[in-house]
Structure 1
């Protein structure tokens, strides 16, 4: 069977093109994220492969949860996925769509995991430095993980900077044992 990414790619491109044509990037992001969450729910996942559940019932379920963020285009897109029994691919489709959107908008979503919460000045300095390094507008997504002891881990796609004290201690322990 073909890889999920291979099957999901044309759907992600179709969603992206529709979003670009109708200047609806945010709407599509919201709908795809919501639909992705719904199909990953442990109560919904078994319904996706159940032949007794009709595609329009699955589309209706997602539409009810998505609410007003859904329009005719996004509903038709989900109906097409449901008709082709491809709703389980929504997490991959959403991820690929976001990558296409970020490329088009010249932005980068950067995950910052720090040992303590960053204040606004630290966030601004980090965003400015990353903007210069990545040559893109940067959207920071910050979270705290006290197990890092100190420092932070910065991820932007394949670009990773691990400046945590925990990582330094782990490297030191490896060097001392060899």
Structure 2
């Protein structure tokens, strides 16, 4: 894991602990989504990356843009990120926060890449099977990759299940080479 990802995860964890202690997970999700959008803006990104703009000015700018949309704790997070020259990781902090929230709520986003679109029945069966196996409420996103030939690859957190025809053929080719 990169240093940036580690830092984003640490800030997200701290924010999540504050949000959870106050029962404000949804409010924090909204605040972080807004801050992520602000930081992801092209003009704001250039200012954040500019060495000629002081950290204090950047914090002031972000807080002015977010006026009325942040709690006192949210403003403190912006100040802390600014002091540590980490405003650029706000989008990653928001993503990590949402992952922590989904995990706590027993939800998981699963990406299924298949050779052709999954039918509603196939999606339903897959959601049920994964939900039972992982013990979570599953939200499924289906992507199409015709190069898989057939079958599908399931990405659920750190779990990858390759049931694609391409994967099977690669497995056979590797076995023959040995």
* TM-score where L is the length of structure 2: 0.76
* Alpha-carbon displacement from aligned partner over 1:87-116 (angstroms, at most 9, x marks no partner): 122244233312321221011221111111
* Alpha-carbon displacement from aligned partner over 1:38-80 (angstroms, at most 9, x marks no partner): 545665434223243321224445x49xxx9x44357513344
Q: Which runs of 4+ in 1 moved over 6 A?
A: none
Q: Distance in 2 between matches of 1:59 and 1:115?
A: 46
Kept after mapping to 2: 8 A contact 1:59/1:75 = no
Name the counterpart of 2:71.
72
Alignment of 1:12-161 (within 5 A): 12-33=12-33, 35-36=35-36, 39-40=39-40, 44-53=44-53, 54-55=57-58, 56-60=60-64, 63=66, 70-73=69-72, 76=75, 77-161=77-161
SS at match of 2:14: helix
Name the counterpart of 1:168.
168
- What is the RMSD computed on CA atoms of the aligned residues? 3.0
Q: Distance in 1 between matches of 2:145 and 2:73?
A: 36
Kept after mapping to 2: 8 A contact 1:31/1:74 = no
Distance 1:121 1:86, change over 3 A: same
Cα displacement (A) at 1:82: 2.9
SS at match of 2:28: helix
SS at match of 1:110: strand
* TM-score where L is the length of structure 1: 0.76
Cα displacement (A) at 1:125: 0.7
Q: Which runs of 5+ in 1 are unaligned?
A: none
Q: Distance in 2 between matches of 1:148 and 1:30?
A: 37
Kept after mapping to 2: 8 A contact 1:151/1:165 = yes
Q: Distance in 2 between matches of 1:139 and 1:31?
A: 23
Distance 1:160 1:127, change over 3 A: same
Q: Distance in 2 between matches of 1:92 and 1:23?
A: 22
Kept after mapping to 1: 8 A contact 2:4/2:89 = yes
Q: Distance in 2 between matches of 1:73 and 1:152?
A: 46
